[in-house]
Amino acid sequence: MRALGRFLLVMPRALDADLMREQRMSASEYTVLRHLSETPGHLMRMSELATACDMSLSGMTRLAAKLESLGCLRRIRCEEDARGANAVLTEKGMERLREAWPTHLASVRRHIFDHLDGLDLHRLASAFDAMAAEH
């Protein structure tokens, strides 16, 4: 179990370091752009995006402001609830995600999948999905 604890501590740092070194993008920035890219209309409520990225709403607001200043997303008023805001992925944000994706994929392969030779990856993915669904 110590190995799992160490993995959970070290792996996010390793993936973040690779993105920062090669793309000058944090893993948090990448995760925001990825989530937006996977939604219809490339749009999410800020509160839902914060939850999806496992961030506080204030943390997401600060990160969205940074990504907005870089032209990667826009924040717009929510039509359903004028008190809320939506984040919308811009074309520049999608382009930035496409640029960073190969770096992230190579990092995940190098740090994780290259060490899983011989394991049933479909069962492993199903187990991870089941664990995540509980929370």
DSSP 37-84: HTSGGGEEEHHHHHHHTT--HHHHHHHHHHHHHTTSEEEEE-SS-TT-
The predicted pLDDT at position 78 comes to: 83
pTM to 2 decimals? 0.89
Q: Is 48 a domain residue?
A: yes
The domain that holds 49 is classified in CATH as: 1.10.10.10
Confidence band, pLDDT 50/70/90 cuts, at residue 46:
very high
Kindly report, residue by residue over 97-115, the tens digit of the pLDDT. 999 999 999 999 999 999 9
As a whole-number percent, the residues of the chain with pLDDT over 90 amount to: 79
Domain that holds residue 30: 25-94
Q: Is 17 a domain residue?
A: no
Residues 6+ away with beta carbon under 8 Å from 97: 30, 33, 34, 37, 89
* Total tally of structural domains belonging to the chain: 1
